[in-house]
């Protein structure tokens, strides 16, 4: 399999993760309201499974390091499979709540609040599990990002009277908070199934390509529970049936959702490939910088803060500055 040894390349992959995690939900904005959110999420789940499978049979099966994908899957212990699948279940539930929060409250609030919580929790957990990098820089960076999240929440509260009902705000923030707590756990769970050193793989544990494929398979299967429930109990809009998925003239909608899953899958796959060269805590923290990318989409493309007051705009500007400063500190923590 192809292994990343360079810290610079690892950081570049984490930046790719940031771009993907902050952009994939734009495909939800492209879907018409008549196409139910649970149907969109099934499409995204398909794309999310296809990407690591494609990367696994290419980059994960060639190269001079580690084990090939099939050999890696064959030697994995039951415990490794359990940790990776559990991580997939937890991630999928968190992701459903996140994307639902975006559907209800918009990208500019759902991502900074939800993923901001996930970033702080995830960095702390993963650093305790594998303390690597300058802790002062890491946790100072996390502190700045936490302040950015608080500013974003205050800015959205000021904006709530401009287009969204208070009930939508409460529901959207609640979904983002619960999703953030769960999202902060999944990365650590999957790391429990992965070898400490990709160049010298542990017996019974996975390399990154096998781990992310098993993780994605667990995430996909969990849709039978989570998304099926959401189809009959949606957070927003009307209920849908499985027969609705196969309606005529929906091919375009399916492709949009699958594209969202491919983008999301690119992010998670890149992050796990980079996680040992950069350290799990830093790789996860940089990837969750997608919060800033999502806020940029929400503010400048989708105009979610159109007509905001000067104070609200100043809060948003300060949020971007704090987020960027926090991400810079995370990058320099390994130098």
Q: What are 20-61's pLDDT values in tens digits?
A: 988 998 998 899 878 988 999 999 999 999 999 999 999 999
142-151, 183-192, 263-272: least confident range: 142-151
Secondary structure of the chain in HEC code, one letter for each residue: CCCCCCHHHHHHHHHHHHHHHHHCCHHHHHCCCCCCHHHHHHHHHHHHHHHHHHHHHHCCCCCCCCCCHHHHHHHCCHHHHHHHHHHHHHHHHHHHHHHHHHHHHCHHHHHHHHHHHHHHHHHHHHHHHCCCCCHHHHHHHHHHHHHHHHHHHHHHHHHCCCCCCHHHHHHHHHHHHHHHHHHHHHHHHHHCCECCCCCCCCCCCECHHHHHHHHHHHHHHHHHHHHHHHHHCCCCCCCCCHHHHCCCCCHHHHHHHHHHHHHHHHHHHHHHHHHHHHCHHHHHHHHCCHHHHHHHHHHHHCCCCCCCCHHHHHHHHHHHHHHHHHHHHHHHCCC
Q: What pLDDT, in 10s, does the model give residues 88-140?
A: 999 999 989 988 887 787 766 676 788 778 988 999 999 999 999 999 999 99
For the question of whether the overall pTM of this predicted structure is more than 0.85, the answer is yes
Stretch 75-90: mean pLDDT, rounded? 97
pLDDT for the residue numbered 4: 94
pLDDT reported for residue 89 = 97
| Confidence at residue 114, expressed as pLDDT on a 0 to 100 scale | 84
241 pLDDT band, cuts 50/70/90, is very high
pLDDT higher than 70, residue 14: yes
> For position 163, what pLDDT does the model report?
55
pLDDT tens digits for 306-334?
888 899 999 989 999 998 999 899 999 99
pLDDT of residue 290: 82
**Within a 10 A sphere around the Cβ of 34, how many other Cβ atoms?**
9
Share of the chain above pLDDT 70, in %: 96
Q: How confident is the model at residue 292 (pLDDT cuts 50, 70, 90)?
A: confident
What count of other Cβ atoms lies within 10 Å of the Cβ of residue 247? 11
Q: Is the pLDDT of residue 221 over 70?
A: yes
Mean pLDDT across 240-254: 93
pLDDT value, residue 166: 60
Mean pLDDT score, 10-25: 94
User: What is the average pLDDT value for the chain, to the nearest integer?
Assistant: 90
């Amino acid at each position: 399999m192809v292994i990343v040894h360079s810290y610079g390349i690892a950081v570049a992959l984490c930046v790719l993760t940031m771009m993907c995690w902050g952009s994939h939900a734009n495909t939800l904005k492209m879907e018409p309201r008549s196409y139910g959110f649970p149907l969109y999420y099934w499409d995204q789940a398909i794309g999310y499974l296809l990407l690591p499978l494609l990367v696994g049979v290419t980059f994960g099966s060639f190269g001079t390091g580690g084990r090939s994908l099939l050999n890696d899957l064959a030697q994995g212990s039951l415990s490794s499979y359990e940790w990776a699948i559990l991580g997939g279940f937890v991630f999928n539930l968190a992701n459903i709540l996140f994307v639902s929060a975006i559907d209800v409250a918009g990208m500019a609030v759902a991502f900074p609040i939800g993923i901001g919580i996930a970033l702080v929790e995830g960095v702390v957990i993963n650093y305790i599990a594998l303390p690597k990098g300058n802790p002062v820089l890491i946790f100072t960076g996390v502190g700045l990002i936490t302040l950015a999240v608080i500013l974003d929440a205050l800015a959205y509260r000021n904006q709530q009277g401009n287009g969204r009902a208070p009930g939508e705000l409460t529901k959207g923030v609640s979904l983002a908070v619960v999703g953030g707590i769960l999202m902060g756990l999944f990365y650590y769970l999957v790391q429990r199934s992965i070898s400490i050193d990709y160049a010298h793989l542990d017996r019974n544990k996975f390399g990154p390509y096998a781990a992310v494929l098993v993780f994605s398979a667990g995430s996909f299967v969990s849709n039978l529970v989570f998304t099926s429930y959401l189809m009959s109990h949606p957070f927003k809009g009307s209920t849908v049936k499985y027969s609705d998925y196969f309606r005529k003239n929906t091919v375009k909608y399916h492709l949009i959702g699958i594209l969202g899953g491919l983008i999301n899958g690119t992010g998670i796959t890149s992050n796990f490939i980079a996680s040992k060269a950069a350290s799990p805590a830093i790789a996860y923290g940089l990837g969750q910088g997608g919060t800033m990318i999502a806020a940029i989409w929400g503010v400048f493309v989708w105009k979610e803060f159109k007509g905001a007051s000067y104070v609200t705009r100043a809060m948003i500007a300060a949020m971007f500055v704090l987020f960027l400063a926090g991400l810079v500190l995370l990058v320099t923590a390994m130098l």
